Chain A
């Protein structure tokens, strides 16, 4: 009941996102039902029907991904101090979130069932009665349990995914590594530090690291275990940059850890392109090899995209940035994981679509072209794009407090908007040519 109340009272933008999930779920449900109809109509071609069903995994995955992103941004299921006090903690909120997702997905599936029955001609009284009766095997009766099972796949998957992703977890303290010492020491030894008068303090701290400890009220035993080892060792003069020995944190690492998937992603993309090139040597390219190549390329793109986004942000804030480039670039670096992954998915889908159109452009219509594949393409493309936009909304929600503080400082709102535009432009400038290039490369050997 609470989930329904929270669902009903949300703002229009939130409802729009949920409706998008419902629409994507309706599209996927209709595709699944069409597979069933194909199997009913062609009992002799079981393998073709199975192949169709397997292709439905792509829109299914895209829809579940969208549902996950929408559930993450849902303000109704965010931890709220008032609700936590009345016993609606993170676990219950996770349940509410999963219920909301199940609700929108089920709504979409029911819609798909209605439209399907309507187009088959089972439900009458509206325009386009039985418009696709031939394609959807209307001469045979529909096995209802099979249809319901197929329709339940998506809500069940999406709900499970949301519940797993949003399950309450205690914050894990980040592992403190001693690696930062060397890097900070390398910085600290540079003459730039000495220009603002920190050198004496630094040297003094290094010469007698235990001296200020008694004056400090904090117990020195509170330090992380990993750092006491490094502290016990006599630091070399170049690395004696631990500025405040009793501090619980070691000398900080100034850089944000970049996402680590970039090398793997690049390797997978090249492997995928190589597989496709290899498959393209024989005149009718083996479908399995081409599919494997595309799968590898797509996985590689998804893996590499956060790293590329981080790189994009780094380039944006390099070489003496002003406030605009600094804000744009650093935010992009910090949000690389959140924005990069959906962006990689969008790139993979776009490059696959571009390659397909480029392939079949000269040689007539694609073999699988038809209303159903068009619907599938629409669902996949729409879901991935909506996921990307939802991720952007999520990033914006996370930064709302910082933005408010910046506005209190008197930062012009136009500049903050300019930073957002700059981020989008930088991402477009990097990922647009990349997508086109990968699409052209993957289509090249198959011509």
Chain B
């Protein structure tokens, strides 16, 4: 078994995945994520971005193919070990900010640190620091329901960053936002990741978002493609038949 290159923090080889109902997910994806880079995984909806991220982060068991993290295999780990790996080394941002509604904002952001056994004071300081940096520091004591959507998403980013993960997986973190909020969220995310040397794997179907990344991996139908050649959109086909001018 060949060891991955030294500067690749995360590395996948010929990753195949099919969903539980048998529908195809990934078909032989190989990629390497370098230390400290921001890698965009782009592609249209349904191209397997989320599945790839879930496989890389150990949310889904990998049965066919290999995933290596820091020169140790992830695909051979059991569910408990993968859970510990996620808790200690990975961060995850959902498309929707799923915050715990009962906790206030800073407690939400401090939760991963507390889950790792950090003291309450230390967790709070780190969480407040990140909330400040992401411009939601004023709302640190309010409940998630009192915040706007973009603010909640920034809190979710703070929660993912607060425990200093090695790799941050962001699955379409800006999909439900307007463009102003989207740019703000992305800028804060990328700036924070770069300043702390956090590797980011960013799934997006948006070319503008992908432009912020160091490198882009394009997916199409569960395969990695280098140049996307989609068939021309059938914009004229059938239009004459439906035309009312007849």
Binding site for B on A (CB under 8 A): 184, 187, 196-198, 201-202, 205, 217, 243-244, 247, 249, 251-252, 254, 256, 320-323, 326-327, 330-331, 333-334, 401-402, 404-413, 415
Contact = CB atoms under 8 A, between A and B. Distances in A.
Given A252-B143, A254-B142, A410-B83, A402 B100 contact: yes
Given A187-B141, A323-B111, A410-B86, A196 B128 contact: yes
B100 A327 contact: yes
Interface string B39-50: 000000000000
Contact of B101 (A184, A402, A409): A402
Contact of A326 (B85, B114, B132, B140): B114
B139 A243 contact: yes
Interface string B99-134: 111111001000110110000110001001100100
A243 B83 CA distance: 38
Interface stretch (B29-37, B87-95, B232-240): B87-95
A277 B102 CA distance: 42
Interface string B54-94: 00000100000000000000000000000111111010101
B83 A412 contact: yes
B201 to A, nearest CB: 15
B115 A198 contact: no
A326 B141 contact: no
B69 to A, nearest CB: 14
A320 B121 CA distance: 8
Contact of A409 (B111, B125, B137): B111
A205 B138 CA distance: 11
Nearest to B88: A410
A409 B104 contact: no
A108 to B, nearest CB: 37
B interface SS class: helix
A196 B124 CA distance: 10
Contacts of A251: 142
B98 A330 contact: no
Residue in B125, B137, B180 whose Cβ sees the most chain A Cβ within 10 Å: B137
Given A323-B115, A406-B100, A411-B87, A254 B137 contact: no
Interface residues of B, number: 39
25 contacts: A187-B141, A196-B128, A197-B137, A198-B138, A198-B140, A244-B138, A254-B104, A254-B142, A254-B143, A256-B102, A322-B114, A322-B120, A323-B115, A326-B103, A327-B100, A331-B102, A333-B102, A402-B101, A405-B100, A408-B59, A408-B94, A408-B98, A409-B86, A410-B112, A412-B87
* Among all A-B residue pairs, the 5 with the closest Cβ atoms: A410-B87, A405-B98, A243-B138, A252-B142, A410-B86
A252 B115 contact: no
A interface SS class: helix
B86 A202 contact: no
Nearest to B169: A408
A330 B102 contact: yes
A415 B115 contact: yes
A401 B98 contact: yes
B102 A252 contact: no
B141 A254 contact: yes
A197 B128 CA distance: 10
Contacts of B90: 410
Nearest to A334: B102
A254 to B, nearest CB: 5
Contacts of A201: 137-138
B104 A334 contact: no
A243 B176 CA distance: 25
Contacts of A415: 115
B214 interface: no
